[in-house]
Structure 1
Amino acid sequence: MSDTHLLTERVAAVARDDTPLLDLRVERKRYDGRIVLADIALQVARGEIVCLVGPSGCGKSTLLRIVAGLDGDYR
C-alpha cells in the first residue's frame, strides 16, 4: 500500500468521524463569590465556525480560558 493511499484512508476516516471537536459543560464558574458562568453546554463540530458575542463582562473570555485549559477552577 502506498503512502498516498494510507493518507487518503486516514483523511476519509477523519471525515466520517462525527465526534464533536469540542464538548464542554460548565455547571458554574465564580469570581469572588459572584457567578459569572452557569449551566453552559457547548458542542462544536469539526469544520463548524463559532462566534462568541456579548457585552463586556458577560464571560466570553472566561469561557475561552476554560476551553484553552488556562482556568480549571470551575464545576
Structure 2
Amino acid sequence: MENLNVFGPANWIGLLSSVFIILCLYFTLTFFQKLKTEDERGIKQSKFAAVFCLAFAILMPALYNLYIFSQMME
C-alpha cells in the first residue's frame, strides 16, 4: 500500500476524462452538422466517435477507482 501513489495518476485520469468529454461534445456537434448535410458515412463515424469518447470518459475513472478500492482492501 505504501508504494501506491494515489494523487499522481488520479490527476492525469481526471485530465484525460475532461479531454474525452470535450471530444464527445465536438463529435456530437459534428454529428448534427453531418446530419444536416445528409452525409451517411460522416454520421456513422461521428456518432461512433462521440459514444466511444463518452464511454471512455466515464469508464476510465470508474475502473481506476475500482483498482484503488481493490488495492486498499488487500
- Shorter-chain TM-score above 0.5: no
Choose between structure 1 and 2: higher strand proportion.
1
Higher relative contact order (CA 8 A, sep 6+): 2
Choose between structure 1 and 2: higher helix proportion.
2
